[in-house]
Structure 1
Amino acid sequence: MEAVVRGVPVHFVEHGSGTPVLALHGAGVDHREIAGGLEPMFGNIPGFRRLYPDLPGMGRTPAHRSLKSNDDVLDLLLRFIDSMIGDEPFLIIGRSYGGYLARAVAHLRPQAAGLALICPVGAHAGSVPKHQVLVSSAHPAGLDAEIEASFRSYFVVQTDGTLNRFRQLVAPAASLVDEPGLARIFSRWELRDRPESAARYPHPVLVLVGRQDATAGYADGWALARDYPRGTFAVLDRAGHALLHEQPALVQAFLAEWIERVREDEAVVQSVARFP
């Protein structure tokens, strides 16, 4: 599907019906990676309309010449929300780069009723551990050498199962990345209205990070605790930046619990509204 926003054709995939959930993928991939990680869970939790856009310069959404910074991408997302969701309460999930944008969206759209972050990156890179392979039992026979190198440098759990997920959900997006377009946008990385400078977010939050994440690290995730008084924070062992694929059962369990907290929070708010 496609929505034209600010003259930019934003490609997205939509599943289900009910309360909207906006899910934002990381850099260098497209909607397939985060959708592949979330859809197995939502298949067991009805009542949610999932929106998976391709972010500019990735997948089938172009890095339009008008997009010169992350502020421009954020504005595009806000207008996408206004067009596709409107004033309706919604949940937002962001992975890696998508988490950076998701934090800003949650602070700028008061109808954002819940925020989940998976291996989020921030305005500045913090300290990160060296890449460490914990499990190495994959058999990448016949895999292109460049793709295999990408897999080896990304995953810390290298099994036939994670290799299959990489082949299906990550590798196909590589050829669709507009490298010059992303370089232009990322050259102005830091958002003008940084989420850290906003008022504390009052709704349920989930932050999941991988203990062996050599891209975003894990310490910065806990540093977000001061901004999210309703937050659950978990550092998962046996997981790097590919946490979504390396610990899928745990990720889905934490997300399901977060959804229940959001539902509970909305029920309390509606009850207070009815009985002042």
Structure 2
Amino acid sequence: MEIRAGQVVIHFVEHGTGRPVLVLHGAGVDHREAEACFEPVLAGVPGLRRIYPDLPGTGRTAAPETLRGADEVLDTLLAFADEVTGGTGHLLIGHSAGAHYARAMAARRPAEVAGLALVCPLLPGLRDVPQHRVVAGGGIGDDVFRSYFVVQTPEMLERYEHHVAPAAALVDEAALERIGERWALTPGHAPPYAGPTVIVAGRLDSTVGYAAAADLLDQYPHASLAVVDDAGHALPHEQPALLRALLTEWLERVERSGPPGDGDPMAAPRFPRP
């Protein structure tokens, strides 16, 4: 499916009906990785409309020259959210760079975001990023696989070859380089997002680390934090059962959060119940 969001035509897939859930993938891949990792969790929850877009410059979403940095991508994603949700309350899930944008979307539109899930988030001020270390398997796959996964078993290689590697041929490298030169978002002055939040980081994540993610706990008053051992930046692949448990608990908190107060950005937004 395709829909115009500002100057960008965004390709996306969706499943189910009900409360919208926008799932944003990381850099250098496309919606297929996020779909493979999060759909097994979300598909089992009644009343969720799961929406997986290709971010600009990836998959089948082109990135016009007008997108010069992360601020323009954020504006595009906010316009996309308006189009696909009609301005109704929705959930946001982001992995890596997708979490970078999901945080900003929740800060800009807190009254429309029912819950926020950040998995291996790309953040400003990264620190204490560990060296890559393999904890299981090894000696298989290409260089990208071996530098991405810390669990290098045949099962993980199959996931990589089916859900990660195919995106490489579709990536607009020039566009991602252009956007990456201005990847930091312009700071806003909104209060911290106060809806139900979950933050998940891999202790062995050699891309973004876990220390900066742990720092987020003080910024989100209703956040749970999990730092997962034996998991790297490919945590959604490597620790699916634990990720399922963490997201299920988060969804239960979203459900308990209740209807919003009129004009109260601290309250959870209204959404169709399953």
TM-score scaled to structure 1, two decimals? 0.91
Indicate the SS of the match to 2:10.
strand
Residue 9 (structure 1) shift: 1.1
Equivalent runs, 1:83-102 vs 2, <5 Å: 83-102=83-102
The residue number in structure 2 matching 1:215 is 207
1:180 to 174, 184, 189: 174
The 2-side partners of 1:202 and 1:127 are apart by 27
User: C-alpha deviations, 1:161-207, integer Å up to 9, x for none?
Assistant: 1111101110000111111111111111111135xx53021111000
Contact map agreement 2:148 2:234 (CA 8 A) in 1: yes
Residue 267 (structure 1) shift: 5.2
Could you say which structure has the higher helix fraction? 1
Equivalent runs, 1:1-276 vs 2, <5 Å: 1-109=1-109, 110-136=111-137, 140=141, 148-194=142-188, 197-266=189-258
Contact map agreement 2:257 2:268 (CA 8 A) in 1: no
The 1-side partners of 2:157 and 2:221 are apart by 37
Instruction: Give the residue type in structure 1 aligned to 2:84.
Output: M
Indicate the SS of the match to 2:29.
coil
**Structure with greater contact order relative to length (CA < 8 Å, sep ≥ 6):** 2
Instruction: Give the residue type in structure 1 aligned to 2:204.
Output: Q
Indicate the SS of the match to 1:52.
strand
Instruction: Give the residue type in structure 1 aligned to 2:219.
Output: D
Indicate the SS of the match to 2:204.
coil
User: C-alpha deviations, 1:79-99, integer Å up to 9, x for none?
Assistant: 111111122110000000000
RMSD, matched Cα:
1.9
The residue number in structure 2 matching 1:145 is none
The 2-side partners of 1:117 and 1:200 are apart by 14
User: C-alpha deviations, 1:28-48, integer Å up to 9, x for none?
Assistant: 000010110111112211100
The 1-side partners of 2:86 and 2:131 are apart by 43
Contact map agreement 1:138 1:160 (CA 8 A) in 2: no
Indicate the SS of the match to 1:114.
strand
The 2-side partners of 1:125 and 1:222 are apart by 11
Indicate the SS of the match to 1:166.
helix
Long gaps (5+) in structure 2: 270-274
The 2-side partners of 1:139 and 1:180 are apart by 30
The 1-side partners of 2:212 and 2:149 are apart by 20
Residue 17 (structure 1) shift: 0.4
Instruction: Give the residue type in structure 1 aligned to 2:122.
Output: V
The 2-side partners of 1:221 and 1:269 are apart by 30
Residue 252 (structure 1) shift: 1.0
Instruction: Give the residue type in structure 1 aligned to 2:92.
Output: I
The 1-side partners of 2:166 and 2:186 are apart by 33
Residue 272 (structure 1) shift: 11
The 2-side partners of 1:218 and 1:112 are apart by 25
The 2-side partners of 1:237 and 1:61 are apart by 34
Indicate the SS of the match to 1:266.
coil
- Relative to structure 1, the CA distance from residue 272 to residue 48 in structure 2 (aligned partners, 3 Å threshold; closer, same or farther) is closer
Count of residues in correspondence between the two structures: 264
Residue 137 (structure 1) shift: 5.2
Contact map agreement 1:138 1:159 (CA 8 A) in 2: no
